[in-house]
Amino acid sequence: MVDDEVRALTERALDVARAAGASYADARYLAEDSESIDVENGRVEGVSRGSDAGIGVRVLVDGAWGFAGTALMDAKEIERVAGLAVEIARSSRPLLRAPVVLADEQPVGTFWETPIEEDPFAVSLDEKIDLLLKASAELQSVQGLTIAQSSMDFWRRHSFLATSEGARIEQVITQSGAGIVALAVGDREVQQRSFPNSFRGHFACKGYEHIRSLDLAENAARIAEEAVALHKAPECPSGRTTIILDPNQLCLQVHESVGHPLELDRVLGMEAAYAGTSFVKPDDRGSLRYGSDQITITCDSTLPGALGSYGYDDEGVPSRREVLIENGVFQRFLSSRETAPVIDETRSNGTMRADGWGVIPLIRMPNINLEPGTSSLDEMIGTTDDGIFMSTNISWSIDDKRTNFQFGTEIAWEIKKGKLGRMLRNPNYAGKTVEFWSSCDALGGKDEWKVYGTPNCGKGQPAQVARVAHGTSPGRFRDVQVGVRG
Amino acid sequence: MTLLGEDRFEEAARIALGDGVDAALVLAFHSAGGLTRFASSQIHQNTWRESVAISVMAVVDGNRVGVASGSSLEPDAVRATLDAAKAIAAVTPANSDFPGLAEPASYPAANLWDDATAETTPAERADGVARAFEEFPSSIDAAGYIETTANEVFIAGSTGLRAYATSTQAGCSVMAIAQNSSGFAESVERKLASLDVPALAERAVKKAELGRDPADVEPGAYTVILEPAATSTLLQFLAFLGFGGKAFLEGRSFMTGKIGEKIMDDKITILDDPVAPDALGLPFDFEGTPSSRVVLIDKGVAKDVVWDRTTAKKAGRESTGHGLPPPNTMGPLPLNLRMEPGDQSLEQLVASTDRGLLVTRFHYSNVVSEKETVLTGMTRDGTFAIEDGKLARGVKNLRFMQNAVEALHHVEGVGDTTETSTELFFGGSRAPAIKVRDFKFSSATTH
């Protein structure tokens, strides 16, 4: 539990802000512990532990926002920061077109924490390093492999939110992840294979039991062999064809071409100058055909174990599951207490998160999921005469309205007459968001549905990094441009 | 911001360089600053933060290394950070590549501080936004930011190493959003007073107005004029892909095996110079090594990469002062990259082009093939057709798919001024506009 001193500091911040003229205020304490371990070619390259703590005070004065945060946590500093937040809000007011109105939210006093089986911070460093060294040794056992990387990351985030409306919410969120990477460096190209996923592996709101379940060493030799073999594989052909995407690629497709375009702050232009806007408009609710009937997308911050799960967002709105796209038709945005009323919605759907005490919460994807279908990977391959199966993201890019995209994957296999054939190197595909999702004619079922955590989602100024997740099963898409060349 | 001062850091260092370790390195930061964001021609986010960070690298048994970090300089917190670092070092296997700590050194003199920038008030940032808005007609919306920051950085090593610097920075971007077009301009400097916010706004508005009702354009190979922000994207990715010693030694860099060879046009010179008068770097790196000017590409010829202590030891070289904070698995990086200007104005570059495209900036670029330096990304905020030496009309945005080294081999002209631009999610560099032939676009978009 947060100590009395922290509670007293947040109460003091609210008192000072109200006395200075704030109509609304929240004080958010955040303390995060982290641990990171990196092994390369059998050598421990880095082991670090960190702790970071501070308080951020957000206020509304005459409809204008102000925010100030500090790591210097004593009463005098907190009073100064709360006063500064009000001063900042007053400086915003002359250049405000429409005063901010917050959607109602019933304040609660509660405690929520990630259910974990084994505290990752209590597991010895010896054991963790040993696991990574074993995985590294398995990778290095493959002839032709140049670089063997293995890594682990853990975070424990302890937060306390106090609002002038009466919310008092304490949360402890624990996140764990690990992964291995095999790199084969050639004269012209570098080929890479990652397991269980790229970007440092597979992350979840779980304890060390998650790491034990990954079987890193058991999969190391296979991916190392694939990285080496890729150099001799033919290049992904260019043209239009059927593609089947592994969940470890389809998750990022969901992230970039569904999750981000449905963030209501983007839609309203609030991120325009930096990460961009969206092709989706408020009037599109209930009418925009986003994809085929196969496509149902949910936002679910309650999903047990998923990296983007929490009890309450940083505005005190409880987590929930909502349908964003139903059988291909767009229904709902990701919203906040500020943005929901702008499009005449009465309540935020609870997606506001800040990556630290020193920044304001923004609309961030929690777990954005492509709901499973009724097919299977075997059935999809078996009923594809000519196509490509692509796995594990390595490159991604999308325009500032989230329409024109291009993704690359680490590896692919051709599909001929219903069977997987040769390995293909340098696979990529490109398209337009609605056209692409409309070309989906099959999705794998529940037993092939996997949730992958994405620990590196960037947004906002100052830049913030969010940990989010996406559940998908394998999916098949027809008539897609592949093998784009420079 | 009220400076903590070197003495306050020294107090923490005395604790952190404590008993029970062979060697220790302390790296501490104190930063404060405000960022005022605007969109739809109003201030919608307005923030300030003050942070303290300290990391301690403890070394035991000569080469067993642990790193811990915290966010307080209070004695008990610093002791806890040191203890955590020692505990990690005690169970971490020996690292034969550990190069040891830097020895005491003297650093290049540099005045990196501006009182007015450090003391900028929220009202002064808001006033800057207001001056930007004055340049906007009612039919065009404004979006962007103004930021001012002040920083202290302190490094102490058990070797007697001490480094301390104070610095300020001010940045502003302005995007002009019209009905079906947009424009953009950005500036990052040491001093707020060096930002000409109305001029940035004027540039952005002019682009949005010139780009109204953009025409379709076919993908393909074009002669392009890349404005400084677009050139900077190429530089930033080259820095990440191959101007660092680790990628070079691993054979992953486009520079590996190419030193002494001509790999770009002779009009291209690229260097890293952290303490150049118009740079935003520090006189030392995060290992305490003095920063130095490193020429990476000299008139098209591959000359060198940057080094930190670990990679320099492996390569038999000296660190060039480009080390990142420990524990660093990325190796050294040039954080203050710049391309030397040429002798043509932007207008001359356009005037010399019969048919081509002018690109204001790229968006969400990424690596397609790291060693081949193939990149992809979108144009945004002002893409124009050039016909008969003039900007003819705005065109819809395009996706580029281009080998960056090859692009810099196809350079036909280099602008005579440079600007600092930031890249989405990381870094920034100083670059001129460049004219490149056969720059490849693979698809177009709808806006």
Mean pLDDT lowest for which of A246-260, A387-401, B5-19, B138-152? B5-19
Percent over 70 (pLDDT), chain A: 100
The answer to whether the CB of B294 falls within 8 A of the CB of B268 is: no
> Does B427 have pLDDT greater than 80?
no
- Among A214-218, A435-439, B166-170, B277-281, the least confident range: B277-281
Query: Given an 8 Å threshold on Cβ–Cβ distance, is B366 in contact with A360?
Result: no
- Check whether B19 has a pLDDT greater than 80: no
Please state the rounded mean pLDDT for residues B12-36.
93
**Taking the domains of chain A in order of start, what are their residue ranges?**
4-230, 239-482
Of A45, A52, A398, the CB nearest to B329: A45
A288 in contact with B, Cβ within 8 Å? no
| pLDDT per position as a tens digit, B257-280 | 999 999 999 999 999 999 899 999
For the stretch A88-98, pLDDT in tens is 999 999 999 99
Flag whether the ipTM exceeds 0.85: yes
Specify the amino acid at residue A24. Answer: Y
Chain A, window 99-118: residues with a beta carbon less than 8 angstroms from a chain B beta carbon: none
Nearest to B143 among A54, A89, A273 (CB): A273
Q: What is the share, in percent, of chain A residues with pLDDT greater than 90?
A: 98
* Pairwise CA distance, residues B75 & B250, whole Å: 41
The alpha-carbon gap from B339 to the nearest alpha carbon of chain A, in Å, equals 24
The reply to whether residue A189 touches residue B380, judged by beta carbons under 8 angstroms, is: no
pLDDT value of residue B21: 87
Q: Is the pLDDT of residue A186 over 90?
A: yes
Please list every residue in chain B whose beta carbon sits closer than 8 Å to the beta carbon of residue A38.
327, 329
Residues 406-435, chain A: which have Cβ within 8 Å of B?
406, 408, 426, 428, 430, 432
pLDDT tens for residues A319-375? Answer: 999 999 999 999 999 999 999 999 999 999 999 999 999 999 999 999 999 999 999
Predicted local distance difference test score (pLDDT) of residue A57: 98
Residue B439, amino acid: F
Cα distance from B286 to chain A (closest Cα, Å)? 16
Separation of alpha carbons B180 and B428, rounded Å: 28
Q: What local confidence, expressed as pLDDT, does residue A260 receive?
A: 98
Q: Give the CA distances from residue B249 to residues A180, B257, B259, in Å, rounded to whole numbers and listed in that order.
A: 21, 10, 12
Do the Cβ atoms of A486 and B368 come within 8 Å?
yes
pLDDT tens digit sequence for A17-36? 999 999 999 999 999 999 99
pLDDT of residue B187 exceeding 80, the answer is yes
Tens digit of pLDDT for each residue in A433-471? 999 999 999 999 999 999 999 899 999 999 999 999 999
Mean pLDDT, rounded, for B183-187: 96
Distance CA B208, CA B204 (A): 6
CB atoms B380 and A276 under 8 Å: yes
Q: Give mean pLDDT, residues B359-379.
A: 97
pLDDT in tens, B207-223: 999 999 999 999 999 99
Looking at every residue in chain A, the average pLDDT score rounds to: 97
CB contact under 8 A, B51 and A54: yes
Using CB atoms, which residue from B46, B97, B133 is nearest to A92?
B46
Query: Distance, in angstroms, between B106 CA and closest chain A CA?
Result: 28
pLDDT value at B425 more than 70: no
**pTM over cut 0.90:** yes
* Helix (H/G/I), strand (E/B), else coil: B177: strand
A46 and chain B in contact, CB less than 8 A: yes
**At residue A346, what are phi and psi to the nearest 5 degrees?**
-85, -20
pLDDT for position A486: 73
Structural domains of chain B in order of their starting residue, each with its CATH number: 6-203 (3.30.2290.10), 214-235+341-444 (no CATH)
Q: With bands split at pLDDT 50, 70 and 90, how would you rate the model's confidence at A104?
A: very high
Query: CA gyration radius for chain A?
Result: 24
Question: CA-CA distance, B345 to B353, in Å (whole number)?
Answer: 13
Is the Cβ–Cβ distance between A179 and A150 less than 8 Å? yes
Q: Please say if the pLDDT value at position B424 is more than 70.
A: no
In the CATH scheme, what architecture does the domain A4-230 have? 2-Layer Sandwich (3.30)
Out of B84, B95, B381, the one facing A44 most closely (by C-beta) is: B95
Q: Tell me, what's the pLDDT at A2?
A: 86
Nearest to B434 by CA among B195, B181, B228: B228
- Residue ranges of alpha helices (H) inside B92-222 are 115-118, 122-133, 197-210
